[in-house]
C-alpha cells in the first residue's frame, strides 16, 4: 500500500519509518536545532509544552552509545547507523496548577510529528521506537519521577535497503499497511462510515 493521494501534502506522502540510514553522512548541530525548533512550536494543552529531548549526535560516542544501550536488541541492530538518537520525554504535570496533565504524552507525540515532518522537508528520515527499556532510561539519566520517557527517535539521511540483513531488509521493502477509512472515521455516530 502506498499513499499516492495527490491531495495529501507531499511531506506526509514522503514520510515513512525506514531502518536503513546513511551511516557515513552526519547530521550537524544546526540541523538538529532546526528539528527541535519545529518540535518546540507544536500545540499543547494549556501551552504547557511537556516535551523534553535528550539528544546525542553520533560524533559524541559516549552519549550516542548511552541512548543506544536503552534500545532492545532488534532496534539496536539498525539504529546504531543513525546519525542522531534522541529520547523524547513528557513532563507529567501541568505548569499552571501542578495537576496531572492527561495530555502530556499526546503533546509529546504532536511535537515528535512536527519534528518528523521538518526532518522530511530537510531530506532526513526519522524512525521512532517504543522498543526500549524505560527503566534503563530512568537509571542512566537519573530521571526525576515527574518525567516519563516516551519514544526514542533515530534519525539521519536515508540509506539503502541492501545494507540490511534478511528479515530487516524484507520489512524495509514490505508494502506499508493502513486501516481502511471506514474503520477509523465515523459519520456523526459510532461505527457509521463517513
Ligand X SMILES: Cc1cc2nc3c(=O)[nH]c(=O)nc-3n(C[C@H](O)[C@H](O)[C@H](O)COP(=O)(O)O)c2cc1C
Q: Where on the chain is the footprint of ligand X (CB under 6 A)?
A: 16-17, 75, 128-131, 151, 176
Between residues 144 and 176, which has the closer beta carbon with respect to ligand X?
176
Between residues 49 and 120, which has the closer beta carbon with respect to ligand X?
120
**CA pair distance 49, 39, nearest whole angstrom:** 10
Between residues 16 and 103, which has the closer beta carbon with respect to ligand X?
16
Q: Are 54 and 67 in contact, with CB atoms under 8 Å apart? A: yes
The residue with its CB nearest to ligand X is: 131
The x, y and z cell numbers of residue 193, run together, are 462510515
Give the shortest CB-69-to-ligand X separation in angstroms: 15
Between residues 30 and 167, which has the closer beta carbon with respect to ligand X?
167
Give the shortest CB-55-to-ligand X separation in angstroms: 18
Give the shortest CB-34-to-ligand X separation in angstroms: 21
For every residue of the chain, DSSP letters joined together read -----TTS-HHHHH----S-B-TT----HHHHHHHHHHHHT---GGG---EEEEEEETTSHHHHHHHHHHB-HHHHHHHTT-SEEEEEEEE-B-TTT--B-TTHHHHHHHHHHHHHHHHHHTT-EEEEE--B-HHHHHHHTT--TTEEEEEEEEEESB--GGGS-HHHHHHHHSPP----HHHH-BSSSTT-B-
Give the shortest CB-176-to-ligand X separation in angstroms: 5
Give the shortest CB-53-to-ligand X separation in angstroms: 15
Between residues 11 and 193, which has the closer beta carbon with respect to ligand X?
11
Amino acid at each position: 500500500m502506498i499513499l499516492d493521494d495527490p491531495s495529501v501534502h507531499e511531506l506526509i506522502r514522503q514520510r515513512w519509518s525506514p531502518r536503513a540510514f546513511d551511516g557515513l553522512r552526519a547530521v550537524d548541530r544546526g540541523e538538529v536545532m532546526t528539528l527541535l525548533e519545529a518540535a518546540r512550536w507544536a500545540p499543547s494543552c494549556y501551552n504547557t509544552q511537556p516535551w523534553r529531548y535528550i539528544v546525542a549526535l553520533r560524533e559524541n560516542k559516549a552519549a550516542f552509545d548511552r541512548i543506544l544501550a536503552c534500545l532492545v536488541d532488534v532496534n539496536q541492530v539498525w539504529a546504531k547507523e543513525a546519525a542522531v538518537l534522541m529520547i523524547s520525554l513528557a513532563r507529567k504535570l501541568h505548569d499552571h496548577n501542578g495537576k496531572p496533565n492527561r495530555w502530556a504524552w499526546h503533546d509529546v507525540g504532536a511535537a515528535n510529528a512536527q519534528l518528523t515532518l521538518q526532518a522530511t522537508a530537510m531530506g532526513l528520515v526519522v524512525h521512532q521506537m517504543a522498543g526500549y527499556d524505560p527503566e534503563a532510561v530512568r537509571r542512566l539519566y537519573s530521571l526525576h519521577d515527574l518525567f516519563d520517557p516516551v519514544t526514542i527517535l533515530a534519525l539521519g539521511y536515508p540509506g539503502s535497503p541492501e545494507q540490511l540483513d534478511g528479515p530487516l531488509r524484507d520489512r524495509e521493502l514490505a508494502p506499508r499497511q493502513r486501516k481502511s477509512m471506514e474503520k477509523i472515521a465515523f459519520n456523526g455516530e459510532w461505527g457509521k462510515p463517513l
